[in-house]
Structure 1
Amino acid sequence: MIRFGVIGTNWITDRFLTSAKEIADFQFAAVYSRTEEKAKEFAGKYDVNSTYTDLEEFAHSDGFDAVYIASPTAFHAEHAIACMKGGKHVIVEKPFASNAGEVEKMIETAKSNNVTLMEAMKTTHVPNFNKVKENLEKIGPVRRYIANFCQYSSRYDKYKEGIVLNAFKPELSNGSLMDIGVYCLYPMVALFGAPEKVQASAYMLDSGVDGQGSVIAQYSEFNGIAMFSKITNSVLPSEIQGEKGSIVIGKFSDMVDVKIVYHDGNEENISVEQKENTMYYEALSFIETIKNGKLENKVNTWERSIETMKVLDKARAEIGLVFPADK
């Protein structure tokens, strides 16, 4: 049994817990929040009694073994490092941290404290992502990767009323690229490695973060295009184009509705059945990594996290998106 504490009391933590409770080796044991009221309110929903408002006390508690971190991105590194120094295994929501320098510090802390550290990028763990990898050869040499993820944020309505919530605050290392774009870029790095060149453009909001944008990643024989937004929706699928056909993907973050469309017009459905809450697969993989005594997950490797963060760093430099954490 792996006993979990959580940092972050928002909807994404609810989704993680809902998925993880299906795993026999999972037990929810503790909540950390900056305020006692929020900690107790969240814990009460799950009949959990252990709550903390002091990070060091939480990190060094003997009441749990691992921590799921879903605090704002600007705090990911601080929270992860504190918990790992307390001997806890850590899974951190995407994006892993504010920049590559923070990711490197997190990895060094995992090594020096002999604990598991993993980025919670769910997309690369779902069964249909494996189907994409397995079927790349069928479409011939890849010539273009197009990942499209545009999701209108309800918080943007408040923004237009003059109320800037966390999703649009640079001091929390947020914005469209970090929150949404990472879903497009991490699988690209997982499939094809680090690109040779990165170009980016964005529509910048007055708060200092990007509302929407795009990234072009240049490889030796093809290019990758990522389109992302928190201020518009999109109904377009994503696709990986090859010389013999294309792999077309419906909802990219969950790899839903995956098929091959060949040049002759024939289609091949390569989707397999998946759990509706796809966070289940990352939670299961993290627990298995701990139980196998490994510090690094075999799918969401440290190298992939660093390379993805370097792409994000380069894209931010292109669009002039600077976080306080960069200083």
Structure 2
Amino acid sequence: MINLGIIGTNWISGQFVEAALSTGEYELTAVYSRKLATAQAFGEPFGEVEYATDLHTFFGIQHMDTVYIASPNSLHFGHAKEAILAGKNVIVEKPAFSTPEEMDEIISLANEQHVFFFEAARNFHEKGFQKVRDLLPLKNEILGASFTYMKYSSRYDQVLDGGEPNIFSPHFSGGALMDLGVYLVYTAVAWFGMPNEVHYFARKVSTGVDGLGWGILRYDLFDVTIQPGKIGDSYATSEVYFDKGTLVLNGVNAIEDVVYHDRNLKQREKIEIHPAENPMAEEALNFAKVISHPTDSKYGILYEEWVELARNVNQVIYDLRKSAGIIFDADSK
């Protein structure tokens, strides 16, 4: 059984705990928050849990072996580093880290300490995501792709009122690309590999980060366009274009509906997708398989693939951000 600790008491942490417990592989062991009442309010629905209001005490809980980190983006690196040095596996909510330097240091440190680092990019671990990837033709038969995930954030209202909530703050590594854009970049890199070059054209908000943007990922034979956004809504589908047809998806952040339009046969083929009830259950189960079988070469190979993908996605997002002149506090560390 994996003894799980939690940093970050927002809704996504609650959803991950529910997903993890549903697999039968985890127990919630500890919750950290700067305020005891906040930690207790989060943990009490899950039974008997230890609470900590300082990180030294939290990481000192011996029987806690794995920490899920869902603090603000810019804090992920420090929290992950301290957890690894305490001998804990870390599951870091996407985007795991702000820069390639942070990513490289955590990967190296996890290897040195013989623990696991996972980026919680849930869409990549969904069976529907893998099913679509298996359906894709050879790259020389792909004409391009377009991925969109644009959803208005109520916290943008605070920006309009002169505020700077974490998700829109350069101090906390915020913005549309770092939030919703992660799903789009994960899809492109997982399905097509590393692009040759990238460009990002951002509409910045008053805080200096991107409220929405348009990205181009250039490959040898085709381009992939991405459109993340948090200051407006998009109802567009995501699409992959082939020589002989088009694959239309409801989205790539959570694939629920897929249709292939065959140009030659002039017909539509619906691809059956069966998403999990909790969208984080599949990633939680995958992480548990690796943690519970540390010497199994099959899971070891999978783990190395996930780590390399996380590294590559981090690099692409960093390059996109830099091309748009979006600067974070983390860049100067």
TM range (shorter): over 0.9
The correspondence of residues 211-290 of structure 1 with structure 2, limited to 5 A, is 211-264=211-264, 265-290=266-291
> Which residue matches 1:308?
313
Change (3 A) 1:291 1:47: same
Q: Does the 8 A contact of 1:199 with 1:216 survive in 2?
A: yes
Matched to 1:175, the amino acid is: G
Letter of the aligned partner of 1:18 in structure 2?
A: E
Residues 19-48 of structure 1: CA distance to partner in whole angstroms, max 9, x if unpaired? 122111111110011222322222223234
3-state SS of 2:22 partner: coil
- Using the TM superposition, give the Cα deviation of residue 306 of structure 1 relative to its aligned residue in structure 2, in angstroms: 1.3
- Separation in 1, partners of 2:142, 2:293: 35
Q: What displacement does 1:60 show?
A: 2.8
Aligned to 1:318: 323
Q: C-alpha displacement at 1:243, in angstroms?
A: 0.6
**1:81 aligned residue:** 81
Structure 1 distance, partners of 2:35, 2:228, is 33
Is contact 1:132-1:247 (8 Å) kept?
A: no
Letter in 2 for 1:286: F
Q: Which moved more, 1:272-281 or 1:9-18?
A: 272-281
Alpha carbons 1:60, 1:83 under 8 Å: kept = no
Q: Distance in 2 between matches of 1:247 and 1:139?
A: 14
Instruction: Let me know the Cα RMSD of the aligned residues.
Output: 1.7
String of CA shifts for 1:271-294, please: whole Å, max 9, x gaps: 321213211000000011101106
Structure 2: which amino acid aligns with 1:325? A
Distance verdict in 2 for CA 1:130–1:101, change over 3 Å: same
Contact 1:104–1:306, Cα closer than 8 Å, also in 2? yes
Q: Could you give the per-residue CA deviations for residues 152-182 of structure 1, whole angstroms, max 9, x where no partner exists?
A: 1011122222232211111000110100111
Distance 1:45 1:154 in 2: 27
Report the TM-score when normalising by structure 1.
0.96
Instruction: Tell me how far apart the structure 1 counterparts of residues 94 and 71 of structure 2 sit (CA, whole Å).
Output: 10
> Could you say what secondary structure the match of 1:76 adopts?
helix
Q: Distance in 1 between matches of 2:249 and 2:140?
A: 17
Deviation, 1:150, is: 0.3
Deviations 1:62-119 (A, max 9, x none): 1311111111110111111111111111111111101111000110111011001111
Take 1:122 and 1:221, find their aligned partners in 2: how far apart are those partners? 28
Q: What secondary structure does 1:301 align onto?
A: helix
For residues 110-121 of structure 1, what are the structure 2 equivalents within 5 Å?
Answer: 110-121=110-121
Aligned residue for 1:191?
191
Give the letter aligned to residue 87 of structure 2.
Answer: G
User: For residue 284 of structure 1, what is the amino acid of its counterpart?
Assistant: L
Q: Which residue matches 1:3?
A: 3
Name the amino acid aligned to 1:182.
V
8 A Cα contact 2:32 2:52, kept in partner: yes
Partners of 2:140 and 2:316 lie apart in 1 by 26
Contact kept in structure 2, 1:149 and 1:227, CA below 8 Å: yes
Q: Contact (CA 8 Å) 2:159, 2:206: kept in 1 or not?
A: no
Distance 2:251 2:305 in 1: 20
Structure 1 residues 192, 251: CA separation in 2 closer, same or farther (over 3 Å shift)? closer
Q: Distance in 1 between matches of 2:256 and 2:23?
A: 22
Change (3 A) 1:139 1:88: closer
Deviation, 1:295, is: 6.5
The amino acid of 1:68's aligned partner reads: Y
CA distance in 2: counterparts of 1:248 and 1:103, whole angstroms:
33
Q: Say whether the 8 Å CA contact 2:139–2:221 is kept in structure 1.
A: no
Q: 1:199 to 1:173 in 2, by over 3 A?
A: same
Percent identity, aligned pairs only, is: 35
Aligned counterparts of 2:57 and 2:283: Cα–Cα separation in 1: 27
TM-score, normalising length: structure 2: 0.94
